[in-house]
Amino acid sequence: MLRLDCLRTVYSELENHLVVTIMGAVAAELHSLGHRPNFFYLQHAMGLASSTGLGLALCLPEQKVIVFDGDGSLLMNLGSLSTMARYRPKNLVHVVFDNESLLSVGGFPTATSTGTDLEGIARASGIPRALTVRTCEAFKAAVKDAIHGHELTTIIAKVEASGPSGYITDLSLLENRFQFRRHIQSLRKH
């Protein structure tokens, strides 16, 4: 299963929600499908995409927030699972692309390649709904269910360790950040 194919299956579902991605391949691939002002790409600060999603979800309970995380990033901030579980915002969907690899920095294997089970860690941290998917169809169904459901969900998507040839897009970090905030402010006025 390719991450890009997964993203493609849910791209149309993302239009009315807030999306936060991690750095590298996830950001570049989502961007390649077509940037939208409701997408924020956290291009560094590994581990903090889920914390950002939590802050958004707690402050904007009427908005759905979708985080596209990765195994390398989440392993750097496993405590985030326990913090999310503690407040379990119903409007937060936490997707983790697990390619068992630190792909963006040379493809070194992460601990999920030797048995660390992120779904198990999520569940044991108290995330009310945690599941693992291995096909694009299952991915699409799981993300749609989580978006339309009312329960904090962590979806582990097992994907291949492959990505685009480069990660730099034509969207500057600050442009993305200011556009994202402005987009949220425009939603609040309606």
Partner 1 sequence: MPVSLANSRLIYETLKECDIRLVSALPETWLVHLIRMTDEDPEMTLVRLAKEEEAVGVSAGAHFAGVKSAMLMQNHGFLASINGIVSFAHLYKIPLLMLISYRGSFGERDPWQTQGGNVTEPVLRALGIPYFFLDGVDTAKKRIRQAQTLAESSLQPVAVLLTRDLMWEE
Q: Which residues bind partner 1 (CB under 8 A)?
A: 20, 40, 42-60, 77, 79-80, 82-83, 86-87, 173-174, 177, 180-181, 184-185, 188
> How many residues are there in the chain?
190
> Min. distance of Cβ 92 from partner 1 in angstroms?
10
Q: End-to-end alpha-carbon separation of the chain, Å?
A: 39
> CA 168, 173, 177 angle in degrees (round to 5)?
140
Name the nearest CA neighbour of 65 among 83, 48, 52.
52
In terms of CB distance, is 55 or 164 closer to partner 1? Answer: 55
**Closest distance of CB 40 from partner 1, Å:** 7
Residue 85 or 155 having the CB closest to partner 1? 85
Q: In whole angstroms, how close is the CB of 38 to partner 1 at the nearest point?
A: 11
Closest CA to 155 of 38, 32, 13, 16: 13
Cβ neighbors of 101 (< 8 A, separation 6 or more) are 71, 72, 107, 108, 109, 110, 113, 161
Nearer to partner 1, 79 or 109 (CB): 79
CB of 154 to partner 1, least distance (A): 16
Nearest to partner 1 of 10, 57 (CB atom): 57
